[in-house]
Amino acid sequence: MAKGKRHIYAIALGSNQPRSRKLTPRRLVAKAMERLSKKPFNALMVSRIIETPPLGPSLRRYANAAVLVETKLAPPELLRKLNKMERKAGRHHHARKWSARPLDLDILLWSGGIWADDDLIIPHPEFRKRDFVLRPLAQVAPAWRDPLTGLTPRHLLARLHKSRKKA
């Protein structure tokens, strides 16, 4: 990977655990979106924040969004930066899967296409199955094609809803 090369990433943001009365899930997502618009990031596009029902055992509703960012950070460096942001917001990664969390940041897509190592897989393995990810993603990257399926977020969303109607 060339040093200093600029990368574009689609990042999903989610929260369903308030940190205080003022730091609601919606506000935590908005603050993370603000942070992703400052160095070393350049936010190219931000989605609206939507509220969605919980996935898994959590009872709290989620605030979800997506951001398209440009940065010189390579995928592993970006993952470290996002994990640091999550910890700063109060997230503990040893918590149970799908438990309530103050902030969840996932790399969905990358301008480099596919990345896979022990710590990170891009595109995100589950993003095609999640309405709460695809709706914001379609707002910020409507024409971006999933490198594995060749489909855009809008196509993936339509396919997801079509399969749910059949079920």
Amino acid at 113: G
Verify whether residue 87 is a known catalytic residue. no
DSSP secondary structure letter of residue 35: H
- pLDDT for res 92: 66
Model confidence pLDDT, tens digit, residues 104-143: 999 999 999 999 999 999 999 999 999 999 999 999 999 9
Rounded distance, CA 68 to CA 111, Å? Answer: 11
> Does the structure show a pLDDT above 80 at 4?
no
Q: Which residue in 91, 128, 130, 135 is the catalytic one?
A: 91
Verify whether residue 118 is a known catalytic residue. no
Phi, psi of 65 (to 5 degrees): -160, 180
Verify whether residue 106 is a known catalytic residue. yes
Query: Is the domain 7-166 a CATH 3.30.70.560 member?
Result: yes
- pLDDT for res 99: 58
Write down the residue that tokens 């060749």 correspond to: 150
Mean pLDDT of all residues in the chain? 90
What mean pLDDT comes out for the span 59-82? 94
> Does the structure show a pLDDT above 80 at 56?
no
Q: Which residue in 6, 87, 104, 159 is the catalytic one?
A: 104
**pTM of model > 0.75:** yes
Q: Which residue in 61, 80, 87, 106 is the catalytic one?
A: 106
Model confidence pLDDT, tens digit, residues 37-53: 999 999 999 999 999 98
Q: Which residue in 26, 101, 130, 135 is the catalytic one?
A: 101
> Does the structure show a pLDDT above 60 at 96?
no
Bridge partner list, 144: none
Verify whether residue 61 is a known catalytic residue. no
Model confidence pLDDT, tens digit, residues 9-41: 999 999 988 778 888 999 999 999 999 999 999
> Where are the domains positioned within the chain?
7-166
Q: Is the dihedral of CA 34, 35, 38, 40 positive or negative?
A: negative
- pLDDT for res 137: 98
- pLDDT for res 55: 73
Number of neighbouring beta carbons within 10 Å of residue 140: 22
